[in-house]
Amino acid sequence: MNFFKENWFKILAIIILLLALGSWPYGYYQFLRWAIFAIGIYGAYITYQQNKDVWTWVFASIAILFNPIFPFYLSKSSWQVIDIIVAIIFLISLFKKYERKN
């Protein structure tokens, strides 16, 4: 499969997270929570199917951290550090080889 087709959700997450380092209206950060929450769940699902236990827990943890239903309230500077760390995690995961079971 082609690289972009397999990793579109990770690339999208990296872009959304890095854009969050700018100054945006509050609505963008609400969108960020929902988007990264959904991408984290999707990533956990994909890696669970592939029996990649560590990555399943990593993506599930990201989904929990960014969940919009029971949000964590931190300062903007704390969230910026978290956004960078999570973007790096998604970047690292781009280069991990996953084999999809059919």
* Within-domain flag for 84: yes
- pLDDT tens per residue, range 50-98: 898 899 999 999 999 999 999 989 999 999 999 999 999 999 998 876 5
Count of structural domains, the chain: 1
Asked if residue 61 lies in contact with residue 30, where contact means CB atoms within 8 angstroms, the answer is no
The reported pTM is: 0.87
Asked if residue 46 lies in contact with residue 80, where contact means CB atoms within 8 angstroms, the answer is no
What distance in Å separates the CA atoms of residue 58 and residue 63, rounded to the nearest whole number?
9
* Within-domain flag for 26: yes
* Within-domain flag for 99: no
Q: Which domain holds residue 33?
A: 3-94
Output the CA angle 99-12-17, nearest 5 degrees. Answer: 120
* Within-domain flag for 101: no
